[in-house]
Structure 1
Amino acid sequence: MDYTKYKQYPPVKLDNREWPSKKLDRAPLWCSVDLRDGNQSLPIPMSINEKVEFFNLLVEMGFKEIEVGFPSASETEFNFLRKLVDDNLIPDDVHIQILTQSRDHLIKRSFEALEGVKNAIVHFYNSTSTLQRKVVFKKSKDEIKEIAVSGAKLIKEMSKNFSGNIRYEYSPESFTGTELDYAKDICEAVMDVIKPTPTNKLILNLPGTVEMSTANVHADQIEWFCKNIKDRDSVIISLHAHNDRGTATAATELGLLAGADRVEGTLFGNGERTGNVDIINLGMNFYTQGIDPKLDFSNIDKIVEIYSRCTRMTVGPRHPWAGNLVYTAFSGSHQDAIKKGLEAHNNSDSHIWEVPYLPIDPSDLNRVYEEIIRINSQSGKGGVAFVLENSYGYKLPKSMHPEFSQIIQKITDKTGNELSPEYIFSTFNSEYLEVDGPYRLLDYTINTSSLETKISAKLEYKTDKIDISSFGNGPIDAFFNAVKKVISSDIKFHDYSEHSLTEGADSKAVAYIGMEVKGQIIFGVGIDSSINTASIKALLCALNRVE
């Protein structure tokens, strides 16, 4: 790997830069460019019907500016725009954006496609970068500028016969590879033709067509441009980041801090090469800072399904907000922290979401808590307990967590598989609730006086019947004392807890009892409509598990 054939991107000379001390306090104007697939970003371009379905999804999510493609590039894209118009599928508050190179015949064809659109944005561009001027076009700066100016003149002229409302957008393509002063010069030449005003602004889109620098350098470029472009109040500065360096989200956020107003991007970062900036990431990042993103991500699974089916692209399992693993925790310490955080949140009067490892409430995206914890060989005590409580209502005492988690750990170590909540409960059921002998409770009576409680019980041990009785400070203490009389093992009462498992007239109680036998803690679990019976069953369960 010969790294010496690459050169470092130069910094921007920017005195007194302001963006590092600013904060984001509102969402930008959003423009989706998902439908600009035009044989350039999808191995199999979307059909017209798929484009319509995707368009409807974008409208449902709240996009007010949607680039519907490059109608002069192919009949499919031309016909798609015509279908939107002819079938009256464009809401009155949505601006349809079309893309065209700054070339006469493409501009004219684009206006044919726009006929009947109520609110249109004509987005025209030409490449301005040093490299493309040198090796692709072999033209001077003035010749490249003339391409932009002549395109602007034709668009302005053709707009006179356009029946709808029209706005203009110009992109110096490969802005990140263009000298800043030249990018300013060519944009101002376009402004001289379009003549924007504070009430009828020109969109100046500054594409990171190829991401070439660290995000801070991109922010410097945007701040320099915002401070130096003439008539700043008559232009909207738009960002269009690509992800060649994997930092498109950071570059866009810093670009907004630097003064940009608008963002073009795609759902899940689809686009050429490494893709465009991911609007799901950006929007959810605003959301988690308490800022209204002005887009609706509340049914993220529906968005993923339509995106995947229409584009034939996949959403990675670790995508920050939409991946199917991002609200799970395999680490035991993470699981324990999540469990405690959810308990604290549920018991708090605060509206603020504060749960370790979960930057948002998954239910905000129509995800459910059952998906948060998964159990495998790396899981811990808290995760196993969380599954039982959240899915089945069993609130294991903390002192019981190590015992049951070790049972689960042995299974996962042996199989190497992730265990479902159903399998975990099945194991809990067979280990504690279905223990049948050797001790079985046949009958018991309780007599309570002001001083003590007496219990008399009939047990079955294997095939023998045993009568036991004793006194204690309560039914459980009395039963434990009675059991000790007939068991030779040295046992000590260690732990007891109980809770209601169900509600209503037919509610049941569950009891957990831990006993210390030869230095080892053994737990038993019992369920019954009577808390006394549930507790006796739990004590016998523990004895049976010792056997």
Structure 2
Amino acid sequence: MGKRIKIFDTTLRDGEQSPGCSMNLKEKLKVAKQLEVLGVDVIEAGFAIASPGDFEAVKSIASEVRESVVASLSRALPKDIDRAWEAVRYAKQPRIHTFIATSDIHMQYKLKKTPEEVLQQTKEMVRYAKKYCPDIEFSAEDASRSDWDFLCRVFDTAIKEGATVINVPDTVGYTTPDEYYRLITYVKENTPGIDSVDISVHCHNDLGLAVANTLAAARAGATQLECTINGIGERAGNAALEELVMGINTRRDYFNFECGIDTKEIYHASRLISNITGQHVQANKAIVGANAFAHESGIHQHGVLANKSTYEIMTPESIGLTENKMVLGKHSGRHAFDDRLKALGFHLSAEEIQKAFSEFKELADKKKVVTDKDIEALVEQRQVAIEEIYKFDRFVINSGNTITATASVRLIKKDEKFEEVSSGDGPVDASFKAIDKVVGIDFKLMDYKITAVTEGKDAQGTVRVKIQKDGKVFKGRGLSTDIVEASVKAYLNAINKMLNAIELGEGDEVGEKAG
């Protein structure tokens, strides 16, 4: 049995700070539950003081998650710590995660404090947090660019005041594996009481070294690794959970580490995050990319057919993929569909399965063969559904290269039907303008993307849109074999998210965010 390494997931905090990756409350709860199924030790649920929405998300996650520690980030300030505790206090295993910058450049230009003032603030704020919660994580922001001796003094102070976890973040992705190894070793050897706490590391990927740096730190003695699903996060992102975990599992002979992650849930978690955030995983992404287990070269194909280990150092099944080739179509039954859902890593209630099966049957009437990707797209769209203030009913398009496109769209709101007609530069533009007439609210369309779920003329299309109102961005997603219908669904999905946010009175995010 190797050394036990804890996995700290910050997808819902640092990951969500990535531009375009914001999530609503229902989406955050869905992600938190998947992280719990995945087996992460700590879920950093958000930055409670950042906004009312962040606070409610952390509070809701803390109330529902039972197996993982639930943490909220806070600056080393009383108001931040108070708010963090309000959010996590009902968790079965709460944690307050407080931080202050320790590098010369941050202390001088951002904090405008002397090193002695930072030491004093560390002492006071860790002690302040400890009165609320027994589990306190203290982070020295920009640790990798800090003076090593000063860093040890700060950590010594935090430990004496009750910190249970010491975090040594590479906040701006500046360090290298050898250098980071030496830093963690130095901190271990020169910080009194360090053996009584967990040493955590949080690496950003600005130089593409986040995973390598994190694993080097683990070899040097770090016992908690901070990461995100798909590596999302500020700027170039964070260390990717799937790469760290599969690196540890695949090279157990070298690292001799153990962690509590159920690796068969990795692919499902990756798909969920990609679907919710609208951030596609690049095809050649390690572990979860579309090409991670694909072989086109004739030499590679020959080797894999002879023995998979010739070119595959891990199996698709180990991350939750399946090699089951059974074809599903319109004659397939509920049992086969249910088996395929389980093979793909979905854990649905009987009611959710029935709804998904009905949609599968409708799709099977349009397509000869329904692929795993089609099923994933159907289920994932339903998993992040929101309250539909406006429901899509029908549309009619009149378009061609010699006439101006017109669209008639009918929506339903509280059992009342609203129908408008508009013209535009093509059927999608005309449809959007017709919807605008029904909704009657000014906002801006920021982005529109079409992606084929599978290959072929009968492929489903996924449309993702982003709309903006009052500085807030709302993402929508639509799925259909008809690209205009998919576009209408995506546009309406974003509008419903916007209307839900208006009803809830969600404000803009405030406060400092740290990496």
Question: TM-score normalized by structure 1?
Answer: 0.56
Which residue does the alignment assign to 2:31? 54
Take 1:142 and 1:71, find their aligned partners in 2: how far apart are those partners? 28
Structure 1 residue 369, shift from structure 2 partner: 4.5
Which residue does the alignment assign to 1:171? 139
Which residue does the alignment assign to 1:89? 64
Take 1:309 and 1:256, find their aligned partners in 2: how far apart are those partners? 31
Which residue does the alignment assign to 2:78? 104
Which residue does the alignment assign to 1:311? 277
Which residue does the alignment assign to 1:230? 192
Which residue does the alignment assign to 1:531? none
1:119 aligns with 2:93: yes
Distance 1:362 1:100, change over 3 A: same
SS across alignment from 2:74: strand
Take 1:32 and 1:173, find their aligned partners in 2: how far apart are those partners? 18
Which residue does the alignment assign to 2:118? 144
Structure 1 residue 304, shift from structure 2 partner: 2.5
Structure 1 residue 64, shift from structure 2 partner: 2.5
Take 2:61 and 2:266, find their aligned partners in 1: how far apart are those partners? 25
Letter aligned with residue 91 of structure 2? V
Distance 1:136 1:365, change over 3 A: closer
Take 1:38 and 1:265, find their aligned partners in 2: how far apart are those partners? 9
Structure 1 residue 229, shift from structure 2 partner: 0.9
**CA offset digits 1:477-532 (Å, max 9, x no partner):** xxxxxxxxxxxxxxxxxxxxxxxxxxxxxxxxxxxxxxxxxxxxxxxxxxxxxxxx
| Residues 221-260 of structure 1: pairs in structure 2 closer than 5 A | 221-260=183-222
* Contact 2:242/2:266, CA 8 A, preserved across alignment: no
Letter aligned with residue 305 of structure 2? K
SS across alignment from 1:36: helix
TM-align CA RMSD:
2.3
Distance 1:124 1:182, change over 3 A: same
Take 2:292 and 2:129, find their aligned partners in 1: how far apart are those partners? 47
Which residue does the alignment assign to 1:205? 167
Take 2:114 and 2:266, find their aligned partners in 1: how far apart are those partners? 48
Letter aligned with residue 156 of structure 2? E
Which residue does the alignment assign to 1:383? none
Letter aligned with residue 244 of structure 2? L
Structure 1 residue 276, shift from structure 2 partner: 1.1
**CA offset digits 1:196-254 (Å, max 9, x no partner):** 6xxxxx10000010122321111111111111110222121111111111011111111
Structure 1 residue 367, shift from structure 2 partner: 2.9
Any unmatched runs of 5+ in structure 2?
326-368, 370-515
* Contact 1:38/1:74, CA 8 A, preserved across alignment: no
* Contact 2:72/2:87, CA 8 A, preserved across alignment: no
Equivalent in 257, 272, 286 of residue 320 of structure 1 = 286
SS across alignment from 1:149: helix
Which residue does the alignment assign to 1:408? none
Structure 1 residue 117, shift from structure 2 partner: 2.2
Structure 1 residue 370, shift from structure 2 partner: 7.9
Take 1:138 and 1:82, find their aligned partners in 2: how far apart are those partners? 33
Equivalent in 165, 177, 185 of residue 153 of structure 2 = 185
Which residue does the alignment assign to 2:467? none
Take 2:266 and 2:119, find their aligned partners in 1: how far apart are those partners? 43
Distance 1:303 1:44, change over 3 A: closer
Which residue does the alignment assign to 1:479? none
Structure 1 residue 37, shift from structure 2 partner: 4.7
1:367 aligns with 2:332: no
Take 2:169 and 2:268, find their aligned partners in 1: how far apart are those partners? 30
1:269 aligns with 2:243: no
Distance 1:214 1:233, change over 3 A: closer
1:330 aligns with 2:293: no
1:285 aligns with 2:247: yes
Seq. identity, %: 25
Take 1:44 and 1:303, find their aligned partners in 2: how far apart are those partners? 15
* Contact 2:35/2:269, CA 8 A, preserved across alignment: no
Take 1:283 and 1:220, find their aligned partners in 2: how far apart are those partners? 22
**CA offset digits 1:149-198 (Å, max 9, x no partner):** 221122133x2xx6xxx30110110000100000011111222222x6xx
Distance 1:302 1:191, change over 3 A: closer
Structure 1 residue 32, shift from structure 2 partner: 0.6
Take 1:368 and 1:315, find their aligned partners in 2: how far apart are those partners? 19
Take 1:335 and 1:38, find their aligned partners in 2: how far apart are those partners? 36
Which residue does the alignment assign to 1:34? 11
Take 1:224 and 1:175, find their aligned partners in 2: how far apart are those partners? 13
Letter aligned with residue 364 of structure 1? S
1:63 aligns with 2:44: no
Distance 1:188 1:324, change over 3 A: same
Larger mean CA deviation between 76-85 and 232-241 belongs to: 76-85
Distance 1:104 1:287, change over 3 A: same
Distance 1:244 1:44, change over 3 A: closer
* Contact 2:49/2:74, CA 8 A, preserved across alignment: yes
Which residue does the alignment assign to 1:218? 180
Which residue does the alignment assign to 1:72? 49
Distance 1:361 1:43, change over 3 A: closer
* Contact 2:204/2:238, CA 8 A, preserved across alignment: yes
Which structure would you say has the larger Rg? 1
**CA offset digits 1:434-455 (Å, max 9, x no partner):** xxxxxxxxxxxxxxxxxxxxxx
Letter aligned with residue 51 of structure 1? K
SS across alignment from 2:166: strand
Distance 1:214 1:79, change over 3 A: same
Letter aligned with residue 143 of structure 2? F
1:43 aligns with 2:20: yes
Say which structure, 1 or 2, has more relative contact order (CA 8 Å, 6+ apart).
2
Structure 1 residue 102, shift from structure 2 partner: 0.3
* Contact 1:211/1:242, CA 8 A, preserved across alignment: yes
* Contact 2:143/2:170, CA 8 A, preserved across alignment: yes
Distance 1:213 1:293, change over 3 A: same
Take 2:98 and 2:2, find their aligned partners in 1: how far apart are those partners? 30
Take 2:21 and 2:269, find their aligned partners in 1: how far apart are those partners? 20
Larger mean CA deviation between 50-59 and 130-139 belongs to: 130-139
Take 1:336 and 1:66, find their aligned partners in 2: how far apart are those partners? 43
Which residue does the alignment assign to 2:127? 153
Structure 1 residue 327, shift from structure 2 partner: 1.0
Take 1:303 and 1:26, find their aligned partners in 2: how far apart are those partners? 25
* Contact 2:61/2:70, CA 8 A, preserved across alignment: no
Take 2:231 and 2:171, find their aligned partners in 1: how far apart are those partners? 14
Larger mean CA deviation between 45-54 and 321-330 belongs to: 321-330
* Contact 1:37/1:45, CA 8 A, preserved across alignment: no
